[in-house]
Amino acid sequence: MNCVTDSNSAEQRSQTADLVAQTREDLSWTDSPDIDQNGTSIRSSGLGTESGLIDPHLACADAVECSAWPRYFSKLRESFALDPHASLHEQHMRVQSTTQTPVLQAFELRRLREAIDGFPPQDVAHFLILACIDYAGDSFFYFNRAKMLCDMDDFYENSTSKHRSDPSFLCLAHATFALGSHWIQRARPRGSEEAISSAVPDRGNPGQLFYDHARSLVPDVIDTPNLRSVQAIFILGTYLLPVNANSSSHIYLGLALRKATALDLHKEADLYGTDEDDRETRRRIWWSIYALERCSTVKLNRPRSISAETITTALPKPHQSLDHAQKFDNVEYQRANAQLMLILDQVAICADRIPSKVKFDEFDARLKDWKKSLPWYLSITNIDPDSLSYRARFHLCLNYYFTYITMGKASMVTSVRVCVRHETGQDVRSSSVKGHVETLQNSCIEAASRMLHMFEVLHQSDSLEQFSFTDFQGCSIATVILLLASIIHHRSTSYERIVSFGLDCLRGMAQDNKAARLGVSFVEGLQKIAIEARSKRRQSEAAHSSATHYDELHRLRYYKWLDWVSNKQHDDSTPERLLAEGPTHSVPDRASWLPLDDPPMSGLSNTQQQYDFSETTPSEVPQSQGNRGNDSYTMDLGTSSASHEDEHAFLIGLTGMGIFGFPEPNG
C-alpha cells in the first residue's frame, strides 16, 4: 500500500515538475524562479526575507499602485505640522509594502500558461484593443492607450517580458480583447461584408473566446492590490453587461468598485512619488467605475454601493499626455457622465416613494443646469452618426431622460393602480391622479416618448448595437412606460406606431443574445397584460355608461308619471289616495333631468402632446387647468389588507427587469 502511494506521489511530482519546467520556459523570467520538489515557485532575489522573497519583475513599478502607508504618514505629518517629505524609513516601508507578492503555485502557473497560449496574433491584439478604445469607450476611461499598446508590444516582442508573469496584465488583456470583440461589426473596414457570426462560435459572440481566459485569472487578480487588477475586473463587468447584467456583471462591477476603494481611488490625495499622469489616471478610472456601477444598480433596482458624500477625488479633466493619442478624446464626456450620475444617485435615493414637489423641483433644476452646462459639441443634434462620439452623446441624452423616468416611476404605477382599481370597482376614489403626482406621471411619459424617438433616429442611421446594455435597457424602459400609459389614456395612432417600433427595435437587438431575448419576452408579456387591463377598463366604462343611461331613463319616466298624476287630480276616476301620496314640491325643470355631459378625463387632453416629440423638457409637460392647484395630493396605497399588499408588489414586478422599484404599500 505504501509502495503504491509512494509511486503515485513520485508520478505526481514528476508531472508537476514537467509542467513547471515547461511553464518556466513559456514565461521566460529574467531572474528565473527556483522550483522546489513540490512544484512551488520560489522567487530568487537578493532581498529575501523569512516571510517571502521579492520578485523585482512583479514589484509594483507604477506609482499609482502604491499602498496607503505613505498617505497615512503624510496625513500624520500634516496634522503635526511636520516636514511633508517622507523620511527614509517611510520610503522603505512603501517599497516593502508594494513589492511583496504571493508565491505562485503550480496550478497558478498553469493558468498563466493557458492564458498566454490564448493570446491572438499581435496584429489581431492591436485591432481588438483599438476597437475597445474607439467604440466601447463611450463616456468611460479603461486605460492609457499609449501605455497599453506599448505594454502589448513588449509582451509579444520580448520573450523575457515581465508582463508574461503578471496575472493582472494577462487578465486585463483578455478582458480588453473580449470587450473589443463586441464591437467588431462597428470597427470592421468599410466594404467588408463578411458575416461575423459565421466565423465564430456561440451564436456570433466572439468575445467568449477571450472571456473564458480572463475569468480563469480572476482568483489571482482579486489578490493583487494594483491598479491594473482594478481595470481588468472593471472591463470584465462592462463586457458582461449585455450578457448577464443582473448577476455576473453586477458582481464584477461591484468588485471593481471595492478594489478601487481599497486603493483609495475615491479620495483625492497627493501621492508620494506620483506624477500628474498617474493622478489623472486614477481619477478617470474611479469615475468610470463609479458612473457605470451606479447607473447599473439604479436600472437593476439594487442598493447603492458607496455614498457619494465619501468621494473626494476630482472629476476628470483634459490632460495632454493622456488625450493626444486618443482617436476619440472623450474626457468631456467622462466629466458630463460623472456629473449626471451624481444627480441620478440622489434621485434614486428618493425614488422609492413619490418625491415631494420640493424635491422634484430641485432635481429638475439640477438636470436643466447640467444640460445647459454641456459644451456645444456634446449636443446630439446635427452630428454624423458614423462619428465615434455619436453613441457617447446618445447615451448621455438617454440617461438624462432616464433620470426623469426614475423620478416619475412611482407616480406612474400609482396612476395605473388608481385607474384600474377605480374602474373595476375596487376603489371608489377618483380614477385619475392630480396635481404633483400627475406632473411626475406626465414627465415620465414624455421622457419615454423622447427616448423612443431617439431610438428611431439611431435605427435610421443603422447605429443600433446588439451588445449594448444601455441601448437595450433604454428602449425596454421607454416601451414599458408607454405600455403602462396606455392603461391610463386612450390609445392613439401615434401610440400604436411608437410602441410597435419599440418592440421591433428590442427584437432586433436581441437576435444573438439569450438574456436580451428573455427581456423581449417580458415586455411582450407586459403588453398582453396592458391590453387585458385596457379591455377590463373599457368593459367597466361601458357598464357604467349603460347603468347611468338606465338610471336617467328611469328618473325621466318617474317625473313623467308625476306629471300624469298631477293632470289627473281632478279626474273622478283617480283614487284620492294617489293624490295624497303625490309630491308636495313643484315639478323640477325638464333640463335638470337630463344627464350632464361627462367632463374630459384628467390628462386626456394632453395625451397627444405626450406622444409628440417637442423640444420641451419632460418636466414642462402642461397639466390640465383643473389640476393646477392640487399640489398636496396624497394617496394611501396599502393600508387595507395583506392581499392588497401582495397585489401591489405583484404589479410592481410586472413593470419589468428590476428597473422601476415601485413603492411598496405603506406600513
For 481-511, the pLDDT digits (tens) are 998 888 877 666 677 788 889 999 988 888 8
Q: Which three cell numbers stand for residue 435?
A: 396635481
Please count the CA atoms within 13 angstroms of the CA of 220 that sit on its side-chain side.
28
Q: Give the predicted TM-score (pTM) of the model.
A: 0.72
Burial of 453 (0-12, 13-18, 19+ CB in 10 A): middle
Look at residues 586, 592, 590, 584 and name the one whose alpha carbon lies nearest to residue 560. Answer: 590
pLDDT 10s digits, 325-358: 777 888 999 999 999 999 999 999 987 777 788 8
CA dihedral 274, 276, 278, 281 (to 10 degrees): 160
pLDDT in tens, 259-313: 999 999 999 876 655 788 889 999 999 999 999 999 999 988 888 999 999 999 9
CB neighbours of 481 closer than 8 A, spacing ≥ 6? Answer: 405, 412, 444, 445, 447, 448
Q: What is the average pLDDT score of the chain?
A: 72
- CB distance 468 to 396 below 8 Å: no
Exposed e or buried b per residue across 542-574, where buried means at least 16 C-beta atoms within 10 angstroms of its C-beta: eeeeeeeeeeeeeeeeeeeeeeebeeeeeeeee
* Model pLDDT for residues 445-482, shown as the tens digit of each residue: 999 999 999 998 888 877 777 778 888 889 989 999 99
Nearest to 102 by CA among 43, 153, 60: 43
- Give the list of residues 6+ apart from residue 418 with CB closer than 8 angstroms, or none: 427, 429, 430, 431, 432, 433, 635
The backbone torsions φ and ψ at residue 49, rounded to the nearest 5 degrees and listed phi first, read -135, 170
Contacts of residue 381, Cβ cutoff 8 Å, sequence gap at least 6: none
**Whole-angstrom Cα distance, residue 87 to residue 71?**
13
468: alpha, beta or left? (left if phi > 0; alpha if psi -120 to 50): beta
Element (H, E) at 143: none
What gap in Å lies between CA 477 and CA 402, rounded to an integer? 8
How many Å apart are CA 479 and CA 419, to the nearest integer?
A: 20
* Structure confidence by residue, pLDDT tens digits, 214-261: 999 999 999 888 999 999 999 999 999 888 887 889 999 999 999 999
Q: Using DSSP, state whether 34 is helix, strand or coil.
A: strand
